[in-house]
Amino acid sequence: MTPIQVLFILTSLSLLVSAFMVVTTRNLVRAALWLISSLFMVAVVFVLLDAGFLAVVQVVVYIGAIAILFIFAVMLTRKVMQDTGPQSNSQWWVAGLFSLLLFGGLSWIILGWGGAAQTVPRVTAGDLDNISDLGRALVDPAGYVVPFEVASVLLLAALIGAIVVAWDRN
């Protein structure tokens, strides 16, 4: 077992444990911190896949902005310190059944794909060019320029929409 595989197994286990703790812990701020941990483990997985740029983007955007927004949103509610009350309601068995069905379906699809048994081709030479290739593709008329500009319009719409919703003064 190569060191990379060991690292991947450890990272995936941490990711799964963090994700599990996000939904089961009672304290909301602790749940946000477990979320930060799981997002960081996703960044580590990106690094193991030779996608350094995506790893840092994951940390910058998700942990640096979205997790902060989550924590702010959690602190907007008053009962942050203690979260008493039952964790699940009376229909938990229906939810459990559906999630088992979903898990079974996804596992069947992934195992039938066959790509999970192959190794990922290593990006050896020209790893430095990945980012400039990405940049070129983003503005290439035959590439992704239209989604690029549409993304900026989408961000603008998100900004205006959030302002309209959150700002009830004027």
For other proteins, give the closer residue by CB, 92 or 149.
Answer: 149
10 binds other proteins (CB under 8 A): no
What residue type is assigned to position 101 of the chain? L
Asked if 167 is part of the footprint of other proteins (rule: CB under 8 A), the reply reads yes
Binders of other proteins among residues 88 to 127 (CB under 8 A) are: 123, 127
CB of 12 to other proteins, least distance (A): 16
Q: What is the binding site for other proteins (CB under 8 A)? A: 3-4, 27, 29-30, 33, 36, 47-48, 50, 52-53, 56-57, 59-61, 63-69, 71-73, 75-76, 78, 80-81, 123, 127-128, 131-136, 138-140, 145, 148-149, 151-153, 155-156, 158-160, 162-163, 166-167, 170
